[in-house]
Structure formats: structure tokens, C-alpha cells
């Protein structure tokens, strides 16, 4: 057994115990950071890559071949955009971290369609709530079991998981995870207690997957990567349990950024209480499943974060999203929001294309540029973002370039 494998197994075992430690780093050194004078450019990105499968272990099998067409296309999108820090949503979790290693070694570190390899020596992944049996009748259908009765909707534990990849060191001993935080502990929550009843309501977990605070060392500074993937505000009944949960999952970050009493209800999986220090730089990454103007979100769900005094919204955009909305028509023609900000192709039959994927830096960080990777038809890369059946995902990679201290 090599030292790298031994170290990986120890770290992942600790993560499974709720300590939130990263999967193994590859042996390859990080690429040099882009520099320019006293500052350097850092690209942060989020990508719901649809690297989820319908059967436990299936993603590992596909990754092991090194030849899966969809995974190769996902890797090519990442290589083209070359983020320094990347959150992948919908990447099935395995407790040993094999999927993360296979994805890097057999796809990202291999040139895809002539692109340069992408090396990420540091990675973080941890258990999520999707597919984890609750032992409770959460959908109130009179039976217990199945994806609707898991803490987060999923066919098996870890489906639709998350991964943070980084070219900079992840401070493993400072990571905070919030997988087990109870929804009822949030003051003034939207929990539909009448639907769930007095037995179930106090036990429900807030995060449908998890919420992570992953500190990354960049020079002498530490950037807090706040990663999440709230539940879609759909697929429920008149009680609107998913709409409500989506709103409150987003609100967790709102409270986390508030000093003092507002964040004292928040307790991480290691038992530490409170939110982020007022002076700490951060970037929020994730498929937050909420559009400011359209779709099925609870009123004000994403606005509570976009209007937060510590958050700035670079509003990444693309011409490809405008073209797609015009070509597809349908629900897109009735939208109140601008199509250029869309990040997901949900055209048929409803709700149309939406802005649901976000990179939201702290106000103290300087933004150099931002974009949604959605080429127009016929442009290079458009074959990677076509319509259904999607070559990669129904979501697009969203990126923001920041100026940070060298």
C-alpha cells in the first residue's frame, strides 16, 4: 500500500465519521497560479455536471473505463474553462473517494478533444443526505422506504453528491459540514409542521444534500468556499414542502454570513456553533435551484441571498442562453427575467430555461470578469451544450474571475 492510498483512506474514514475531511490529492503538482503584479487571477466555478447514475456503483464503473462519452464531454468543458476552484454538483458520492480519484486520473488529467489536461491536487467530498433512509414516512403515503422517504430524495445513499476540486490547498482541519443540521432549529422557518406532524417535524434535516464551508489557502489568505445544492422547489403538493425547504436551505447561507445572534442557531456536524467571521472572504458556489424572476421558487428565495449586504452578484451571462430561449420559445417567451442570465436548459415543457447556478463572491473581492459557458450554435464548444439528449448536462458551467493577493 502506497503512502498516498493510506492517507486517502484515513481522511475519507474521518469524513464519513462527520469530520468533513477531503478525498485524496493526486500526486501531480498543482499548475502555477495565474499571476500579475501583486494580485493574481483566480477563477471560481460551479457546474451541475449530471454525473449521477440510477444505480449505486454505476458511476464508478463508468469512470473506470476512461471512455464514457458523457464524462469525457464534462471533462472537456472543465478543461476549456480551466477553473482554479470548482464545485461539481450531482457527482455520486462513495465513501472511499474512488470516484473523485478516477475522474481526475482518467478524464481531467487526460486531454479531451485536444484540450489541455486539468490538474486538481486537492479535493473535498463528504457524505450527503440524498438517498439516506430516514426510517420515517416523509411523503406521508402510509409506507416507509424509497427515495421519497430518504433525508434527501435519492435512490441510494450519496446519489447527487458534491465535490470541490482545487488547485490550492484545502484546509482539511477547518472544513465545516452541516449534513445533520435540523430544519426545526432554524428560527422563523418555513417547515410545514401540519404536513409532517409533531413526530417527524423535529427530526427533519435541513440540507437535502449538505452545506459545506471549505477553506482554501491562497497565498497568505484563506478563501471560504460555501458549497450547497438545495432541493428543487418542485415535485410536491399543496403543502409546498420542497419550495419551503429550498427557501430555507438558501437562507442557511444568509444567516451564516450574519455575525452574532442571527447565526447562533447554526451548529455544524462537529458541534461548533455560529457562522462565518465578519471579515472572512468567501465565495458561494452551487446549483441553488432558484431563479430571481421565473420558475417555482418560494417568493424571495434567492433574493434573500442576492441582496445580502456581504454578497455581490456579478450576473454571469451568455449569448447562447439568449439564442436558446428564442429558438425554444414556449415558457421562455413568458419569462420576466433576462434570458442571457440563464444557466440551465429546462425548456420542455416547463418551466423554461432558468438562472439557478451561482458564483457569488464576497463584496470585498474584486471581480475581473464572469460568464456562463453556453456557446451559440455552431461556435466551438456548442456540441458540448446542445439540447436534449444533453451531451453533458442540462446545466451550464458558471465562472467568475476574481483578483486576489498573490
Domains of the chain plus CATH, in order, are 3-405 (3.60.10.10)
pLDDT of residue 404: 87
Q: Which three cell numbers stand for residue 225?
A: 468556499
pLDDT, tens digit (0-9, with 9 covering 90-100), for 86-110: 999 999 999 999 999 999 999 999 9
Taking 90 as the threshold, does the pLDDT of residue 142 lie above it?
A: yes
How far apart, in whole angstroms, are the C-alpha atoms of residue 324 and residue 253?
31
Taking 70 as the threshold, does the pLDDT of residue 208 lie above it?
A: yes
328 Cβ contact list (under 8 Å, min separation 6): 347, 348, 352, 353, 387
198 Cβ contact list (under 8 Å, min separation 6): none
**Percentage of the chain modeled with pLDDT above 90:** 85
Taking 90 as the threshold, does the pLDDT of residue 5 lie above it?
A: no
DSSP-based three-state secondary structure for 311: strand
Which H or E run includes 282? strand 282-287
pLDDT of residue 117: 98
Taking 50 as the threshold, does the pLDDT of residue 214 lie above it?
A: yes
pLDDT, tens digit (0-9, with 9 covering 90-100), for 42-100: 999 999 999 999 999 999 999 999 999 999 999 999 999 999 999 999 999 999 999 99
The 10 Å Cβ neighbour count of residue 23 is 27
pLDDT, tens digit (0-9, with 9 covering 90-100), for 194-203: 999 999 999 9
pLDDT, tens digit (0-9, with 9 covering 90-100), for 272-327: 999 999 999 999 999 999 999 999 999 999 999 999 999 999 999 999 999 999 99
pLDDT, tens digit (0-9, with 9 covering 90-100), for 225-250: 999 999 999 988 999 999 999 999 99
Backbone φ and ψ for 267, nearest 5 degrees, come out as -130, 125
Which is more confident, 40 or 139?
139
Does pTM top 0.85 for this prediction?
yes
Band (pLDDT 50/70/90 cuts) for residue 33 is: very low
Backbone φ and ψ for 376, nearest 5 degrees, come out as -70, 160
pLDDT of residue 37: 57
How far apart, in whole angstroms, are the C-alpha atoms of residue 135 and residue 359?
35
Amino acid at each position: 500500500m502506497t503512502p498516498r492510498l493510506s492517507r486517502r483512506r484515513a481522511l475519507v474514514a474521518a469524513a464519513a465519521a462527520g469530520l468533513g475531511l477531503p478525498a485524496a490529492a493526486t500526486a501531480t503538482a498543482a499548475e502555477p497560479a495565474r499571476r500579475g503584479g501583486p494580485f493574481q487571477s483566480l477563477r471560481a466555478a460551479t457546474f451541475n455536471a449530471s454525473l449521477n447514475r440510477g444505480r449505486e456503483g454505476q458511476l464508478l464503473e463508468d469512470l473506470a473505463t476512461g471512455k464514457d462519452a458523457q464524462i469525457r464531454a464534462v471533462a472537456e468543458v472543465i478543461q476549456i474553462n480551466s477553473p482554479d476552484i470548482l464545485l461539481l454538483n450531482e457527482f455520486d458520492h462513495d465513501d472511499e473517494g474512488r470516484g473523485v480519484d478516477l475522474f481526475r486520473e482518467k478524464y481531467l488529467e487526460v486531454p479531451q478533444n485536444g484540450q489541455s489536461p486539468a490538474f486538481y491536487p486537492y479535493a473535498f467530498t463528504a457524505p450527503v443526505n440524498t438517498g439516506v433512509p430516514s426510517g420515517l414516512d416523509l411523503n406521508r403515503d402510509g409506507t416507509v422506504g424509497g427515495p421519497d422517504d430518504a433525508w434527501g430524495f435519492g435512490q441510494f445513499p450519496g446519489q447527487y453528491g458534491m465535490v470541490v476540486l482545487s488547485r490550492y490547498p484545502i484546509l482539511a482541519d477547518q472544513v465545516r459540514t452541516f449534513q445533520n443540521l435540523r430544519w426545526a432549529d432554524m428560527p422563523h422557518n418555513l417547515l410545514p409542521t401540519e404536513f409532517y406532524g409533531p413526530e417527524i417535524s423535529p427530526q427533519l434535516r435541513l440540507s437535502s444534500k449538505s452545506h459545506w464551508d471549505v477553506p482554501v489557502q491562497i497565498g497568505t489568505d484563506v478563501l471560504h468556499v460555501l458549497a450547497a445544492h438545495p432541493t428543487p422547489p418542485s415535485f410536491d403538493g399543496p403543502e409546498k414542502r420542497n419550495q419551503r425547504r429550498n427557501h430555507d436551505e438558501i437562507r442557511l447561507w444568509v444567516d451564516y454570513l450574519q455575525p452574532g445572534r442571527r447565526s447562533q442557531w447554526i451548529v455544524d456536524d462537529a458541534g461548533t456553533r455560529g457562522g462565518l467571521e465578519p471579515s472572512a472572504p468567501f465565495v458561494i458556489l452551487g446549483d441553488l435551484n432558484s431563479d430571481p424572476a421565473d420558475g417555482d421558487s418560494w417568493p424571495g428565495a434567492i433574493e434573500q441571498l442576492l441582496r445580502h449586504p456581504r454578497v455581490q452578484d456579478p450576473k454571469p451571462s451568455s449569448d447562447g442562453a439568449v439564442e436558446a430561449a428564442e429558438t425554444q420559445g414556449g415558457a421562455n417567451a413568458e419569462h420576466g427575467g433576462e434570458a442571457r442570465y440563464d444557466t440551465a436548459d429546462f425548456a420542455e415543457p416547463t418551466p423554461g430555461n432558468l438562472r439557478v447556478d451561482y458564483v457569488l463572491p464576497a463584496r470585498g473581492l474584486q471581480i475581473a470578469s464572469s460568464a456562463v459557458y453556453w456557446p451559440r450554435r455552431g461556435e466551438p464548444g456548442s456540441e458540448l451544450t446542445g439540447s436534449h439528449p444533453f451531451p453533458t448536462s442540462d446545466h451550464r458551467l458558471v465562472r467568475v474571475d476574481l483578483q486576489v493577493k498573490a
